[in-house]
Structure 1
Amino acid sequence: MDWNSFRLILAISRTGSLKGAAKTLGHDHSTIFRWLNTLEATFQVQLFERSAGTYRPTDAGERMLLAAERMEEEALALDRDITGRDARLSGNLRITCSESLAYRLLNDLLVEFRARHDGISIELLVDNRQLDLLRREADIAIRATRPAEGDLFGRRLADTAWALYASPAYLAGKPTPVAPGFAGHSFIGWDTAATAAAATWLTDMVPGAAIVYRSSSLINQMMAVKAGIGLALLPCYLGDPEADLVRVAGPEGALTRELWLITHRDLRNTARVRAFFDVVGRGLVARRDLLEGKG
């Protein structure tokens, strides 16, 4: 057996399908299907139970999965250890943050970062999911949550405040928005599967019939407010700078979150990671009033 066999087991187990494994490993579905069949034929054992298109490990598959996870962790630990010793201000940094932070704040800060450290290239993963820093899905994350895993290192930068926004054209001739219920007003909300605190707040505070438009994108929600569809709950750093939006309520204290810059402990002394913490971290702290809805 080689490492690719274990990677195959990991990918199928984590995605639950051959299609998901193919995407993870960068191959087509037929190749993954052929590899799995070859592996099972070699050991003369079934590694996955197939039911309604979902693949679940058998006992033999679970045994191989545990071994694969141990091997992966050792490989990742070695990678972090070697990378953590890197004193060069060059190479690649994989950064992850939310769509709204990338849109409003990060590009301006990256201009300064690149001016100071032009030997470092940036790969930005704009994703509202929390990518796994332990598995090196990213090197650095900018998150609105305190790091919980013991192997992560973080720097608290500021709080992030949320408020309700509308366009002046939408508000013309309408009653003043008053909580709870905000009677007489339409709302722009999240997609029905969203679990974000802002989505929960809207569900608790606003009748379902008042949410007339939904989107999984905060940028799209902001543009819908500009178009006059209704009110939307936005981070203050996103809504306040828009000249054609007005804040009509808030900030909502229950939605305030801490903003953190996070990396793995093994990487915190890598020169390019330290440089990013210095330039981008300092730049975000300098924008604290905007992030906290005070500016």
Structure 2
Amino acid sequence: MTIDWDTVRCFIEVAEKRSLMAAAEALGMSNATLGRKIDALEMATGLQLILRGPGGVILTDQGTEMLALAKTGGDHLFQMERLAFSLKSDRRALPVRISTTETMVSAVLAPNLPMLWDRHPGLLVDLIMSTELADLNRREADVAVRLARPKNEGLIARRLPEVTAGLYASADYLDGRDPGNLDLGQEKLAGLDEKFGDIPELLWMNQHGLQQAVSVQTSSIYALLAIAKSGAAIAMVPDFLAQRQGLIPITAPRVPGRKPWIVFHRDNRRNPEIKAVRDWIVACCQTSFGAI
């Protein structure tokens, strides 16, 4: 029985995506090609690993056991690929990959890169913007910053300073009105959409009966800032960003803060480059949000 890594990688992608179509798109190949690779793996192992159906792909019991072993081997092979890249590029170190949200990258980390390079001039970083938690066990990133604490085995999570938010408007929107004396139910409000689930901002809106006053929703913090700056509506945005834009705070009950976490794999806790990046991220957050 001969099984090559490329076929195993295809199986892992199909198993995790639960869809041949989604896996084929992620791998950059046709459905037919991917289907043939899965057929070849099943023939090589003599096992039925997946069940195909109109609702997607379901792992068999045998497929579930094979997936656990495949992912373990995949972790080691992925590290070999990274090492090969480093040696081929004649680099002494690989880029430290940081996975986090667009707001964190653009508003917190990118502006503070001089701070990192003043202390570690030769350090390379890769800023990955993603709303999904990267799989640190498979080394899709070295460090992640997220607003929820992951509970995956092998990961270490440490608290970062709280990110507070509030309602803000422009002087044009207020047009001389007192920001401390508004009937928010009669105003135009802008907020995050429901794709984020039960986040503090949406729960606050519902708790105070203001959902009906929301005239526009978006998944982008920067869009909310633009809406507030344009004078179109009152927007709920992070305090540190609103203050940078010179927006005016609107008197309202306090919005619960968000509690971000810095996450890294236990195996990397003593890696000097990754530790330097972790310390830099903490310093960036303390500068932007304040101390813990």
Answer whether contact 2:200 2:257 (CA < 8 A) is retained.
no
1-10 vs 169-178, greater mean Cα deviation: 169-178
1:38-77 residue pairs with structure 2 within 5 A?
38-42=40-44, 46-52=48-54, 54-72=56-74
Q: What are the superposed Cα offsets for residues 248-287 of structure 1, whole Å, 9 maximum, x if unpaired?
A: 135835x223343332221121121122133342343244
Corresponding residue number in structure 1 for 2:86: none
Quick check: 1:105 aligned with 2:108?
A: yes
Q: Secondary structure at the match of 2:141?
A: coil
Corresponding residue number in structure 1 for 2:193: 191
For 2:109 and 2:13, locate their aligned partners in 1 and report how far apart those are by CA, in whole Å: 32
Answer whether contact 1:165 1:248 (CA < 8 A) is retained.
yes
Q: 1:230 to 1:263 in 2, by over 3 A?
A: same
For 1:92 and 1:137, locate their aligned partners in 2 and report how far apart those are by CA, in whole Å: 12
Quick check: 1:160 aligned with 2:163?
A: yes
1:164 Cα deviation from its structure 2 partner = 0.9
Which runs of 5 or more residues in structure 1 are unaligned? 81-87
Q: 1:166 to 1:21 in 2, by over 3 A?
A: same
1:173 Cα deviation from its structure 2 partner = 6.3
Corresponding residue number in structure 1 for 2:9: 7
Corresponding residue number in structure 2 for 1:249: 251
Q: What are the superposed Cα offsets for residues 155-197 of structure 1, whole Å, 9 maximum, x if unpaired?
A: 4342211111111211226675779x82211111222332132
Equivalent position to 1:92, from 84, 90, 95: 95
Corresponding residue number in structure 1 for 2:273: 272
Answer whether contact 2:8 2:41 (CA < 8 A) is retained.
no
For 2:134 and 2:203, locate their aligned partners in 1 and report how far apart those are by CA, in whole Å: 22
Answer whether contact 1:97 1:142 (CA < 8 A) is retained.
yes
Q: Secondary structure at the match of 2:127?
A: strand
Which runs of 5 or more residues in structure 2 are unaligned? 83-90
Corresponding residue number in structure 2 for 1:238: 241
For 1:50 and 1:188, locate their aligned partners in 2 and report how far apart those are by CA, in whole Å: 43
1:116 Cα deviation from its structure 2 partner = 3.6
Q: 1:177 to 1:55 in 2, by over 3 A?
A: farther
Quick check: 1:217 aligned with 2:220?
A: yes
For 1:97 and 1:251, locate their aligned partners in 2 and report how far apart those are by CA, in whole Å: 29
Percent identity, please: 27
Answer whether contact 2:18 2:58 (CA < 8 A) is retained.
yes
1:121-132 residue pairs with structure 2 within 5 A?
121-132=124-135
Corresponding residue number in structure 2 for 1:83: none
TM-score for the superposition, normalised by structure 2: 0.81
Q: Secondary structure at the match of 1:160?
A: coil
For 1:247 and 1:166, locate their aligned partners in 2 and report how far apart those are by CA, in whole Å: 7
Quick one: higher RCO (CA 8 Å, sep 6+), 1 or 2?
1
For 1:186 and 1:280, locate their aligned partners in 2 and report how far apart those are by CA, in whole Å: 36
Equivalent position to 1:142, from 141, 145, 148: 145
For 1:47 and 1:149, locate their aligned partners in 2 and report how far apart those are by CA, in whole Å: 25
